[in-house]
Structure 1
């Protein structure tokens, strides 16, 4: 997506603040991130929206990053009735019961160590790739992990914003 206007971007630029904020909350649960994007409307292109998202993600405080992570279900357990988390975690759908159980155990170990959900841009990743990622990342320091989480969140936000800019809100 580049500079052309799309129906979703047109909607986003002209929507009432409350409607646009609700749509952004579906992308990222951090209120500061959503406020930063709202403050810069209207966007001349999806690329401008993505750049604003990247800036807002980089600027999240620790509290804002925690708030964003709280909006994501654990890998292997998408939110019931949420097509976005089911679509993003599709790679876990065909995993064996043994792999699903291992992923649950690793998720719990990760959460015990870091105090938050294991966040990874799961789109296009297999269950094995996600398992290997959590195995690798569990040995990180909390600071290393927060920086990785911030980068993964930026990827997730871009994917979700692409859908919003192309199609409009899902709320």
Structure 2
């Protein structure tokens, strides 16, 4: 945590913006440094994500990209997902996002297909809530990975340590 806590504010913000494309979220986490440990930072991350205003959420969602299919996925899956992604974006106005942390590559394709099919049935407000939760989960996982990358001993969302 020391590297993150003592990094210049601009560097900390840049690292955080790679995790969640919300300047408000990144600024809030940067401003509340230092954090005593990774769990405290993850708790602050969750709280800041839950507090995103609709405009902040829309801004973060606009910068997200579609989930990548695992290598070896058959072409029919690409076709089905392309059509589902297009329908989702037309209905909700942003990319479909889903957190696949903890899933194997083999499971991820099924999870993406099932997720997009079920979420296409949501009304826009219900989907905003689901998308916000997926975005929070993505940010949490990305933050753990980013902290590992700067040499910290980060704890993953499931409690395992990185071994650094």
TM-score by length of 1: 0.81
Pairwise mapping of residues 48-87 of structure 1 onto structure 2 (< 5 A)? 48-76=40-68
Moved over 4 A (4+): none
Give the drift of 1:153: 1.0
Q: Give 1:132's match in structure 2, choosing from 104, 110, 114.
A: 114
Alignment: residue pair count = 147
Query: d(CA) in 1 for partners of 2:89 and 2:71?
Result: 22
Query: d(CA) in 2 for partners of 1:10 and 1:135?
Result: 43
Q: Give 2:70's match in structure 1, choosing from 85, 92, 109.
A: 92
Partner of residue 144, structure 1: 126
Q: Deviations over 1:79-113 (max 9, x none)?
A: xxxxxxxxxxxx53321111011101100000000
SS in 1 for 2:73: coil
Query: d(CA) in 2 for partners of 1:74 and 1:145?
Result: 16
Query: d(CA) in 2 for partners of 1:67 and 1:55?
Result: 18
SS in 2 for 1:128: helix
SS in 2 for 1:116: coil
Query: d(CA) in 2 for partners of 1:93 and 1:53?
Result: 31
Query: d(CA) in 1 for partners of 2:113 and 2:97?
Result: 12
Structure 1, unaligned runs of 5 or more: 1-8, 77-90
Give the drift of 1:136: 0.5
Structure 2, unaligned runs of 5 or more: 152-164
Higher relative contact order (CA 8 A, sep 6+): 1
